[in-house]
Amino acid sequence: MAEENQNNQDDIEITPGSKEFGKMVFRLNNAVNAENVSILNYNGAELEEIQEGVYAQPAFVSDDFNLFFVVTQLIGDDWIVAFSKATIEHGNEITDLSDPMPTGEGLNLLGQVSADDANNLLSYFGTLADAKRGDWRLIE
């Protein structure tokens, strides 16, 4: 029995803010399309298709740090919710999005700017997981 308990302790919890959490992605259970895209709305914003099969929406916008959701097929056939840093000019023109980063890395970056907003986003992903819309995965 002690040996069984030892095996259970090998499961490591990955916590937000850690280096390991930066390697986590949120994988959706279903492909995103025009009919179901609204289930991913966050904080009153809607995902918009910015090119075929690539959706984006603001996750956090401030004067000096902007983070957008990017939802697309990034790993094989899996639909992933990733993040991208955005450049916004003239108050509302998105002029550049960085390469997508893992979900956890984006949350860690946001946590350095606004812990409250990072926690709100973490709750959003928790709600999606509870509704069986997706789950967290560690990328190697």
In a domain, residue 7? The reply is: no
Domain contains 45: yes
Domain count, the chain: 1
Domain contains 47: yes
Query: Would you state the structure tokens that stand for residue 53, as one six-digit string?
Result: 């099969």
The gap from C-alpha 39 to its chain's centroid, in whole angstroms, comes to 14
* pLDDT class of 101 with cuts at 50, 70, 90: very high
- pLDDT tens for 3-51 read 444 344 345 568 899 999 999 999 999 999 888 999 999 998 899 998 8
Euclidean distance between the first and the last CA atom of the chain, given in angstroms as a whole number: 32
- Domain that residue 47 falls in: 15-138
The pTM score is 0.85
| pLDDT at site 1 | 41
42 lies in some domain? yes
Kind and range of the H or E element at 104? helix 103-113
Q: 134 lies in a domain?
A: yes
**C-alpha dihedral sign at 70, 121, 66, 93:** positive
* % of residues, the chain, pLDDT over 70: 89
Cβ neighbours of 113 (radius 10 Å): 13
- pLDDT of 93 reads 74
Chain centre distance of CA 105: 9
Closest residue by Cα to residue 87 from 107, 70, 121, 64 = 64
Averaged pLDDT for residues 119-131? 96
Longest dimension (CA), the chain: 64
More confident residue, 113 or 14: 113
